[in-house]
Structure 1
Amino acid sequence: MESLEAELDRARDLSVPDLADAIESIGFECTRCGACCKGATTKEGDEEPHTATVFPDEVRHIQSKTGYDYRDVARPMPYGLTEGENGPEGETFEWALQTDACGDCTFYTEDDDGRGACTVHEDRPLICETYPFSVALGGTSQPMGEAVDEAGMVRAHECEGLGRDIDREHAEELAAALKERAVRELEEAIGVRDNYEPTETGPGEIVVHDSEGAKREDGTPLKRASRGDDAPDNR
C-alpha cells in the first residue's frame, strides 16, 4: 500500500485534460433533483442524515459569507462515534456539513418548481462541486457509497444525471475541481495523521481531529496546535 505522500504526488500529477476525457465519456448533467443534498433511507429502512465532508478552511469560508457560527455550518463526522447516555461521544476525524431536522443539508432548499438549490452554491465545498465524481486514489473519499461507473482514474457515484451529454468546458471545470479536491483530501489526511494525539473524552463529549489539531464540537481548539501561535483558533 502506497504512503499518503506517494498518493499526494500522484494526485498533483493528475492530468486535467485526461480527467475531463473520463468525465465526458461517462457524461453528466445536474438535474437539480436534490438527492445528493438530502438524507437517505438505508436498505434496512433506517434514516441516514446527509453526510458530506468539509475541510476546516471551507467551514470558515462559509462562515465569512453567511455570518453563521461554526456549528451552524459543520458537525463532527458521525463515523467512529458511539452512542452514550448523553448522546454521541468519542473521537472522530472529519467534519461534515450540518444537517436540518429532516437530515438534509442545512444549505439545501427547493424553488417553487420543486427543483433543488443550494443557498451557498458559489461557496460550496469541493465535495459538492465535484459530485457525483471522485478520483481512484488511496486516501481520497468516495461520497455516497461505492462507484456505479468508472473511466480511467475517475469514479462516478449514484446520480440520475449520469450518462447525459456534457460540454468540454464544463467537463474541464469539473476535472480541475476534482484534481484540487483529491490533492486537498490527501493533504488533510496527512495533516490529521501528523497532528493526531489520542484524547480522552468524557460522557457526551466529542473531539474532532482535523489537519489543524484536536477541536471541540464548535470548532475551537481543544489545545493549542503544536506548530505555534499562528494556528487558527476558529473563534
Structure 2
Amino acid sequence: MRGVDDLADEVMKIGFACTRCGACCTEVSGDSNLVIVSPAEVRAVAGAAGIPADEVADPFPEYLDGEDGRRFTFDWCLRREGGRCRFLGDGRCRVYAARPWICRTYPFMLDGDRLIVSECPGLGRPIGREAAVALARALLDRQKAEAREEAGIRAVMEAVPVPSGSVAVIDSEGVWVVHG
C-alpha cells in the first residue's frame, strides 16, 4: 500500500487545481459522468440536499443475468438530469460538503497502488504540498471505503438471495428489488 507522502509527491508532479468548470459533472459520452455511491454516501447527499434518499441515486446501468430470471447490479449512481448530475446547479455542486469520494478525489483514483488520472482541464496546474497531502489522504480513505463496500457486498451476496424473476441492486446493506 502506498503512503501519503509518496502519493502526494506524484500528485504534485502531475499538478492539479480544480477550475470549477463542471465538466466532470456533465455527460460527454455514454455514461461518462456516472458517480458510483455507497449507501452511506446516498444518505449523506440526501441529508445535504434535504430530499429522500430514494431521490438521490439510480441503479448502476450494467446488470448481470442470473438464474431464474434474476438480474442484478452492485452499485448505485448519483441521479442525472439532462446529462448532468442533478446536484449541479448554476455551475456549482449543491451538496459540496457531502459530495461522494469520487467527486472529492476526481480526476484521480487508485487501482491498487497505481494512480489513475482522468481527463480534466485542471490537470497540470500547480498544487501546494498541503493540498496534495489532503488529496492523497482522501484517495487512500476512498480506497479503504471502497474495499469495505466490496466486502459488504460479498457478505450480502452470501446471505441474501435475489428473488426469482427480479431485478435488484446488491449493496453492502442488502438486496433492493428495483423492477420485476
The SS at the match of 2:63 is coil
Is 1:20 matched with 2:8? yes
Report the AA paired with residue 47 of structure 2: S
Cα distance in structure 1, aligned partners of 2:177 and 2:32:
21
Question: Does residue 156 of structure 2 align to residue 195 of structure 1?
Answer: yes
Give 1:105's aligned residue.
85
Cα pair distance change 1:201/1:37, threshold 3 Å: farther
> Given that residues 53 and 95 in structure 1 are in contact (C-alpha distance below 8 angstroms), is that contact kept between their aligned partners in structure 2?
yes
Count of aligned pairs between the two proteins: 173
State TM-score, norm by structure 1. 0.68
How many Å separate the matches in 2 of 1:106 and 1:206?
24
Which residues of structure 2 form unaligned runs of 5+? Answer: none
Q: Contact 1:49/1:103 (CA < 8 Å) preserved in 2?
A: no
> Equivalent residue for 1:125?
100
Q: Give the distance between the partners of 2:24 and 2:64, measured in 1 at CA.
A: 23
Task: Tell me which protein shows more helix as a share of its residues.
Answer: 2
Say if 2:152 and 2:172, in contact at 8 Å, map to a contact too: yes
1:91 correspondence with 2:72: yes
Aligned position for 2:56: 73
Aligned with 1:40: secondary structure? coil
The answer on whether the counterparts of 1:49 and 1:99 sit within 8 Å (CA) in structure 2 is no
Any conservation in 2 of the 1:107–1:120 contact (CA below 8 Å)?
yes
The 8 Å contact of residues 49 and 94 in structure 2, kept in 1 or not, is answered as: no
* Helix, strand or coil at the partner of 2:11: helix
Structure 2 CA distance for aligned equivalents of residues 108 and 201 of structure 1: 38
**Comparing 128-137 and 58-67, the one that deviates more:** 58-67
Letter in 1 for 2:122: G
TM-score normalised by length of structure 2: 0.87
**Any gaps of 5 or more consecutive residues in structure 1?**
1-9, 42-46, 83-88, 111-115, 138-151, 218-235
